[in-house]
Amino acid sequence: MNTALKRLPLLGIVIVATGCDNVEWGGVELGFSSPADSPVSETSAEVGEVVEDPVPEDRPMGPVLYLGHRAGGEATLVAVAEIRPEGLFPLEAVGSVEASRAFMAEHLTLGMEFTLFSDGARVGRLIADRFSVDGRYCSARPQIRGPIELTPVAATVERFLALPATEGNAFEYGAYSPVDQTRDLRVTSLTAMQEIIPSVGALWPVSVLGIRQDVQMFRATPNGAPTVVATFVYADDLRVGPAALGAYSVFLASDDDGVGYRSTYADYRLFSRDGKGAARYFDHLDVDGDGSDEMVLEVMGEDAMWLSTLGRQGGAWVEEYRDPCGLPPSSSAPAN
């Protein structure tokens, strides 16, 4: 984290409106009001005993990571988590409509600028022109809307991560250069799934390809081999909704260790046993400055979504953050 995030001029900035976006954003527009004063607790004590109320730690909040979905020439950002030196942490003041409104009143202003990142690179900016509360997730969270400006090479980007441009924190990022989805890389995801199915005792589908509902590739380290991630859903869909009878999902990651691709993460969930939680790769960014990017995932449950992140540890991916209201990963890990 040695490079300061600068407001660089966006050469040939364009605002692209597409006609294929048909996105509905949950939530309700809200006005701001000052949060109510916190109640003062009283502590009883024996006669002669001196009792001091604990002094809350006056720690300033770190920068907040946001994820964004584009709709034409505008986008919506949703708060993910607070970034601290030791990693991502839940936003303590968020979880209800009232708390989200108080967060926006304290930390957000009209005209506030956000830097947009996609595939680990800076691709544009958003200017906040209205706020609301997003109710699509398992807990309410602040939502920011506004027009976007994108660099020409990223003119077709549909989703991204974002950070406040005025934070003045250092974030490393490279040039926008998405990995091409070659046939060999796509086949890698199918090979990994074929190995996982018998190791967890899952039912074989008629076609492994037929249940693959998402596949993506990205570089977690500069100049490294692409990481392949994919979501497979059996007897259900990659969406929020009731779990179908006998349905399961697998989210997997595969990496090249120098001699070929091997599985580096797998979350198998039998919905009737583990609860529905079908994960989908959203984007990646080195938010903790360790030289390796973190994956941000959206996880689809029966009633709502939640967010989690994966980071590299010892050559494998492990969950480093999860919304407190989300279900934990399944304990049914593939056999070694």
- Domain membership of residue 268 (yes or no) is yes
Instruction: Please tell me which residue, 169 or 219, carries the higher pLDDT value.
Output: 219
- Domain membership of residue 114 (yes or no) is yes
- Indicate if 18 and 134 belong to the same structural domain: yes
- Domain membership of residue 132 (yes or no) is yes
Range with the lowest mean pLDDT among 44-48, 123-127, 200-204? Answer: 44-48
pLDDT band at 173; cut points 50, 70, 90: low
Range of the domain at 267: 183-322
Residue 82 has pLDDT above 80, yes or no: yes
Single-letter amino acid code for the residue at 27: G
Question: Would you tell me how many other CB atoms lie within 10 Å of the CB of residue 303?
Answer: 9
pLDDT of residue 57: 57
3-state secondary structure of 274: helix
CA-nearest of 12, 18, 8, 2 to 116 is 8
pLDDT of residue 329: 79
Range with the lowest mean pLDDT among 54-58, 159-163, 198-202, 233-237? Answer: 54-58
- Domain membership of residue 51 (yes or no) is no
- Indicate if 212 and 295 belong to the same structural domain: yes
Final residue belonging to a domain, choices 178, 211, 239: 178
User: What's the rounded mean pLDDT across residues 253-274?
Assistant: 95
- Indicate if 151 and 30 belong to the same structural domain: yes
pLDDT of residue 335: 47
Residue 91 has pLDDT above 90, yes or no: no
Residue 87 has pLDDT above 50, yes or no: yes
- Domain membership of residue 53 (yes or no) is no
- The fraction of the chain above a pLDDT of 70, given in percent, is 78
Domain count for the chain: 2
Specify whether the CB–CB gap between 315 and 258 falls below 8 A: no
pLDDT band at 13; cut points 50, 70, 90: very low
- The answer for residues whose C-beta is within 8 angstroms of residue 134's C-beta and 6 or more apart is 25, 26, 27, 76, 78, 140, 141, 142, 143
pTM, full prediction = 0.79
pLDDT of residue 175: 78
